[in-house]
Structure 1
């Protein structure tokens, strides 16, 4: 059996089509085929079939459509275990030679390996075979694929665009312009503002000796760009023009950033794309995160594996309460995973020096420049910037860390589509409305790891001499990495301090938050950021819970907050999403939540002597 998604959705057995009628069964098959070899969760299938508003009977209807799809597969003589339900969702088993998408990915991987090995002829032939698999836009016969499926289709189209660009560059390098000119003419007619395609056409015509036509193509392209955008062409297209003007000379300059495809002698191999190493300084020590780091390593290996079936970027959300060390964990992991992502490691942050976070467009511009795009070529339109970033990342194995994310809407324009890149998103919130592949939640350390972290900073000898005192200090820090690092740094500068007295002073609730500060870093400041992100009702609820104690149940929340049960439950859920209330395991029936001790002290500070809320500063 053969399945096709690179063009109209189709099933064939021995070149005979198998009919699958009905919009919903076809959508179901499309969603399953775009996640080959993986179980697709029932909830995702429901969203794919009913992107606007699923009916109450959606799961029951889904089973009906699964049955109809199985009937179609049976008509093709397929085995009963092709489409299976494994508890979490449905899994459609397809081999590489049965699905055009998997063959396309294998061919492009092989082509890029050949190109990296300086075998351009082999690479070009493999790229040609990959492009020939496309019978049109992906799933072009599905009228309304919905947001999720539509995003995947868009990513595939961008991947196809990137592949054809690489193919045309290789053909020009091999001095085979006649093989690409017809396709380039069609493409520039469809997208006259695409300067890269226009530059390739100008270069191809120049190589064919048709310089007058090359100059005419440039002039027509320039008029369109000036009329539509009000700017002159960028350096890529202007470089192609200069090469055309120099076409009669022995030494011809290629367009800026291109391999040398013109002039006498064999063409030089193209220079590699930039591989930026732009991570911040690696944290000196990462303690107590071995299990989570191992999980992330396993995820990263699956994403970066060239033999993997799913060539889409992987997104991992790293969330946790303020001060647990999300940024330190991600940056340290970025260094440890660099071997899997040889095309570079990047870091951007929404944090700014003032109260207003940086905008998504600003971060995209920063990333494009890091990836080698001239600043003058970066569009002012955020949608165009986002598309340019996806194209720049397509086909690369690159690690990107996005720090201090406040909401899903903020980060979506930065996320790549095609390729084998890994994105780590750091957020104080759980971002339940952001579609990610994996969620890693960091918490406070256990006591032994907390003491070990103090030892790495303050000195192992001091810890060995007074382990019980350092245990008290770690407990007073609520086992929070930020607080432990602050205290450890302070102890380094006080080698003769009486440690029992230091611990007793830190254990005093009146002193604790004031003591947990060094330089411009403080626990109070970190907690304040999360507090200020809450609305007025959530701040009021947090202060009320802080006065009541550290452990909360749904029943006690109703009493403490003096709200109807449903409203109290929603408020507790809201604080959990902000990682300010933490779910805890308990032998007692029902849910239990923990309010971290340092956060409890901070929230109690936010009320004056008359019980009125104070602004957090």
Structure 2
């Protein structure tokens, strides 16, 4: 029989799992296995099984659990003398080859003895065998271990930490940094304040010739330590930094064609100033104020000089069709001079399929940044940690498009550094911690007509300004609708313009007219509508029946809900940018449902 405590508690015979049910019997077995070969006093067993207050029948109950455990052991083929009572307590006889804990301790002792004999390769192999025995946290499937058992498990985890540190040191001495980088990435992600592991990661990356990543890893570690503890890194991490800086200097001054690090392998350099933005959109119209605001933000980020600066995050939100993606991508081109390390773009949008996963986007960014993926596991936390390290030492602009929720985008956000991140979302994402929030709305009349002129032709607009004003109004001055109509007007002769405008102004026809190729206003609205739950969809459809501005009182009447619930529903739709607050000098907040959205919602009156 095999007993396992270095992870979930398990009993096996060959490939067969021996089931032991019930929390108390499993706790009993765990206590006995953590004292292998020794008698555990009855009082200690009772304290472990009932850490708060044992019942009056504790001794009787303990005997019942011992009997049940003996039955399970017998079903596994064990002899009757495996679990014995010796007068003061209970003793579980277990040999080294039967318990993973004993094998772990023997392998660790042998590894340290071999290391003292100056046989590092053999010691590392023994440590590796010891590490392989761990399947997770000791007894991680048992709830409420109590003070004594919990302290024993904590001591075991400390042994594991110490042994892992020793193994890493051996691999680094042997010149094998690539073998420990993946595990170090995972460990510093789980324990970001462990300076020894942070120092080992910086050292391993330096020895692997990845000095830029080593410096970024140090910056990430230092920021976390300063933020959480209010102190500077200790000697180990500082020493790793100095070694990385020396290697960086050696690389910078190395003759052409000569490797700059001791490994003899030239480090892979990420592409400098990589521009991976989509095709630049047509010139922005009517976003001068917001563009100036974003330029000021970007200049402040780019000009910062403090070592502890954190990356800046700007949320760009707005109703469907207001041009969030076009605004951000156009801004990415215009701000390229401030971010010489590159401008990157990723999107959660996957067409008609489900949104792309965060891990997929992180992988895409790592490829763009020149980070080898051979060291990166599939674990999202480790991928996120690698991405933060890769971004920390760079000045770049990152655009993350089509974000549905805060949880989705958090793993992609950098920590330290002088980068700027633009997060595009249809929602206001109030639970996302950002530095600035920019909300895009419909254009004013003059700008809407100007946008039509840039597409359909300035001469036509000058000759028929009233008609184009009517078109802009029918389009709700929404950039997506204006671009669709502008594209259609390119092929419309002037004589047909009046009839086209009349047709567009008929509400029943409007959404059907706002289509060109595979782009339509109705499809854009549908994405936001499908993101709502059933109650919110019902509320949107109900509010679409009102032609006037919506107030707190009218929302109660329209939605047939108590005031608090009606207010919460209105707030929910505002957060989705489907209901827009209106500035008012009078008392009380008022809200506006834009005409195109109202027409769409009325079309959706059927349940769904």
Give the unaligned 5+ runs of structure 1: 1-122, 143-152, 177-201, 208-239, 244-253, 258-270
1:362 matched to 2:360? The reply is yes
SS of the aligned residue for 1:441 comes to strand
Structure 2 counterpart of 1:291: 289
Contact 1:550-1:600 at 8 Å conserved across structures: no
1:468 matched to 2:479? The reply is no
Matches within 5 A, 1:523-534: 523-534=521-532
Matches within 5 A, 1:84-483: 137-138=225-226, 166-170=244-248, 172-173=250-251, 207=262, 240=263, 243=264, 254-257=265-268, 273-307=271-305, 311-483=309-481
Q: Distance in 2 between matches of 1:392 and 1:518?
A: 41
Deviations 1:28-82 (A, max 9, x none): xxxxxxxxxxxxxxxxxxxxxxxxxxxxxxxxxxxxxxxxxxxxxxxxxxxxxxx
Give the unaligned 5+ runs of structure 2: 1-210
Q: Please say which structure displays the higher CA radius of gyration.
A: 2
1:522 matched to 2:520? The reply is yes
Structure 2 counterpart of 1:600: 598
Q: 1:162 to 1:577 in 2, by over 3 A?
A: farther
SS of the aligned residue for 1:473 comes to helix
Q: Distance in 1 between matches of 2:241 and 2:470?
A: 60
Structure 2 counterpart of 1:576: 574
Deviations 1:341-390 (A, max 9, x none): 00000000000023300000000000000001234343211111111111
Structure 2 counterpart of 1:498: 496
Deviation of residue 588 (structure 1)? 2.3
Structure 1 residue corresponding to 2:540, chosen from 539, 542, 547: 542
Deviation of residue 481 (structure 1)? 0.3
Q: Distance in 2 between matches of 1:420 and 1:603?
A: 43
Q: 1:272 to 1:155 in 2, by over 3 A?
A: farther
Q: Please, what is the CA RMSD of the aligned residues?
A: 3.2
Structure 2 counterpart of 1:187: none
Q: Distance in 2 between matches of 1:294 and 1:163?
A: 39
Contact 1:545-1:561 at 8 Å conserved across structures: yes
Q: 1:203 to 1:453 in 2, by over 3 A?
A: closer
Contact 2:251-2:260 at 8 Å conserved across structures: no
Deviation of residue 164 (structure 1)? 5.2
Deviation of residue 137 (structure 1)? 4.3
Contact 1:365-1:385 at 8 Å conserved across structures: yes
Give the number of equivalent residue pairs: 388
Deviation of residue 285 (structure 1)? 1.9
Q: Distance in 2 between matches of 1:404 and 1:484?
A: 21
Q: Distance in 2 between matches of 1:313 and 1:513?
A: 41
Contact 2:550-2:590 at 8 Å conserved across structures: yes
Q: 1:165 to 1:529 in 2, by over 3 A?
A: farther
Contact 1:138-1:156 at 8 Å conserved across structures: no
Q: Distance in 1 between matches of 2:538 and 2:384?
A: 38
Q: Distance in 2 between matches of 1:135 and 1:434?
A: 20
Q: Distance in 2 between matches of 1:433 and 1:161?
A: 39
Q: Could you tell me the TM-score, scaled by structure 1's length?
A: 0.59
Contact 1:346-1:399 at 8 Å conserved across structures: yes
Deviation of residue 173 (structure 1)? 3.9
Contact 2:295-2:335 at 8 Å conserved across structures: yes
Q: Distance in 2 between matches of 1:156 and 1:358?
A: 41
Deviation of residue 427 (structure 1)? 0.2
Q: Distance in 2 between matches of 1:135 and 1:312?
A: 9
Q: Distance in 1 between matches of 2:378 and 2:359?
A: 8
Deviation of residue 162 (structure 1)? 9.5
